[in-house]
């Protein structure tokens, strides 16, 4: 009996060793360039450009703005050029596409509406200052923030000003190039300002419901990120301050962490992914801000993170596009453009689309 037990245990041990030795290792993904398109010939800033507009996918087409005043439309599959919308000013933030109308702001200070069906400009409104904010549409209105710290509600059909919210522009202090893009939820619209303020206002009247000063110290006081909004909460960082989570209805702070950014967060369920201006990538609990892991990028300022299956995708201002494990933040792979990436990447299936600082639009597949 003892001999049979010994043989059984020995056989089980051999089987266990064999099972461990033949278990397949996790495959390291490959980043394969599908196509690349040089779309920008805009002015240089020092040694290199700083393109900040993210691409936008509409069906099978990809829209990409650039600092030279072109809005390029191409096939997302092969990069084949389909259309070029030429404008006088630089387009340095993503456009908004709504019911065959393209809305965008430019560095000449205009907000414009363009009919994609017939190629005509429908209207334009002059703000007097560069516009770095992606417009938002809600209830027949277009919402956009000008770089002079004036927030506009415009009639979507005519461009007529319906109401404005003005904040004092911080004089004598530096500000980050860029602006918060508004987000609508229910009957409210939310946006940040370069003086460190964050506002929630009624969509129809512009009456202010939430007005909070997020930053009072630090070199940059800007609230330039696009807020995340859901039924219960608003999550938004200030550049040199904190990442904040507010109660959406009361405006009371639920939690915060001491690491700021100009980039928005990505939230999936109770998981919150965040890239700070100090170069850290975080996985936090969306309900309590508890840190699951954080990872320091090897160099550069990160873009906003986006998710692709089991990976977090983030760009670096000095390198290219990088993949990190969603579960533990471990670095996995990099696609280095050699010019850096400031514009946030977007994901479609297993494909990543992004604009490099030198104005090249890339399509990269994760295999």
The answer to whether residue 236 sits within a structural domain is yes
Render pLDDT for 269-284 as a digit per residue (tens, 0 to 9): 999 999 999 999 999 9
Here the CATH number for the domain that contains residue 157 is 2.130.10.10
**Domain tally, the chain:** 1
Residue burial 81-106, b: 16+ Cβ < 10 Å; e: rest? eeeebebebbbbbbbbbeeebbbbbb
The answer to whether residue 203 sits within a structural domain is yes
The answer to whether residue 317 sits within a structural domain is no
Q: How confident is the model at residue 88 (pLDDT cuts 50, 70, 90)?
A: confident
Longest dimension (CA), the chain: 93
- Residue 318 and residue 295: Cα distance in Å, rounded? 17
Decide if pLDDT at 339 tops 50: yes
- Taking residue 274's Cβ as centre, other Cβ atoms within 10 Å add up to 28
CA-based Rg of the chain, rounded to a whole angstrom? 23
The answer to whether residue 283 sits within a structural domain is no
The answer to whether residue 127 sits within a structural domain is yes
Decide if pLDDT at 254 tops 80: yes
Model confidence, pTM:
0.89
* pLDDT given at position 8: 40
Q: How large is the average pLDDT for residues 300-313?
A: 96
The answer to whether residue 229 sits within a structural domain is yes
* pLDDT given at position 22: 55
The answer to whether residue 117 sits within a structural domain is yes
- Taking residue 354's Cβ as centre, other Cβ atoms within 10 Å add up to 28
Q: Which domain holds residue 231?
A: 87-261
12 class by beta-carbon count within 10 Å (0-12 exposed, 13-18 middle, 19+ buried): exposed
Of 180, 174, 167, whose CA–CA distance to 136 is shortest?
180
Report percent pLDDT > 90 for the chain: 74
- Residue 249 and residue 246: Cα distance in Å, rounded? 9
* pLDDT given at position 165: 97
The answer to whether residue 138 sits within a structural domain is yes
Render pLDDT for 42-70 as a digit per residue (tens, 0 to 9): 544 444 568 889 999 999 999 999 988 99
More confident of the two residues 227 and 86: 227
* pLDDT given at position 289: 97
* pLDDT given at position 50: 80
* pLDDT given at position 249: 86
* pLDDT given at position 46: 45
DSSP 14: H
């Amino acid at each position: 009996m003892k001999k049979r037990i010994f043989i059984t245990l020995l056989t089980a041990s051999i089987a266990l060793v064999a099972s461990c030795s033949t278990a397949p290792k996790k495959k390291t993904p490959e980043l394969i360039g599908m196509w690349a398109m040089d779309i920008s010939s805009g002015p240089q800033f020092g040694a290199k450009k700083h393109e900040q507009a993210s691409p936008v996918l509409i069906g099978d087409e990809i829209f990409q703005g650039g600092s030279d005043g072109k809005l390029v439309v191409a096939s997302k599959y092969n990069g084949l050029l389909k259309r070029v919308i030429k404008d006088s000013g630089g387009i340095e933030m993503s456009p908004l596409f709504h019911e065959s109308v393209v809305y965008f702001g430019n560095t000449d200070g205009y907000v414009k509406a363009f009919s994609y069906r017939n190629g005509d400009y429908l209207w334009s409104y002059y703000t007097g200052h560069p516009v770095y904010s992606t417009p938002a549409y809600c209830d027949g209105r277009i919402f956009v923030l000008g770089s002079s710290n004036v927030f506009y509600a415009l009639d979507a059909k005519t461009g007529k000003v319906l109401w404005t919210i003005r904040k004092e522009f911080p004089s004598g202090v530096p500000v980050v190039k860029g602006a918060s893009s508004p987000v609508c939820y229910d009957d409210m619209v939310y946006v940040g300002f370069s003086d460190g303020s964050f506002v929630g206002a009624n969509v129809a009247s512009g009456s202010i419901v939430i007005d909070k000063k997020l930053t009072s110290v630090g070199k940059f006081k800007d609230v330039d990120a696009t807020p995340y909004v859901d039924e219960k909460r608003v999550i938004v960082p200030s550049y040199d301050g904190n990442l904040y989570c507010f109660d959406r209805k009361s405006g009371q702070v639920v939690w915060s962490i001491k690491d700021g950014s100009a980039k928005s967060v990505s939230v999936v369920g109770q998981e919150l992914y965040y890239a700070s201006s100090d170069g850290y990538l975080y996985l936090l609990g969306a309900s309590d801000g508890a840190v699951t892991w954080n990872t320091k990028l090897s160099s550069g300022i990160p873009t906003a993170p986006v998710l692709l299956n089991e990976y977090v995708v983030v760009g670096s201002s000095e390198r290219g596009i990088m993949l990190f494990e969603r579960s533990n933040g471990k670095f996995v792979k990099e696609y280095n453009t050699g010019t850096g990436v400031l514009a946030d990447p977007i994901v479609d299936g297993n494909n990543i689309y992004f604009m490099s600082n030198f104005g090249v639009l890339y399509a990269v597949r994760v295999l």
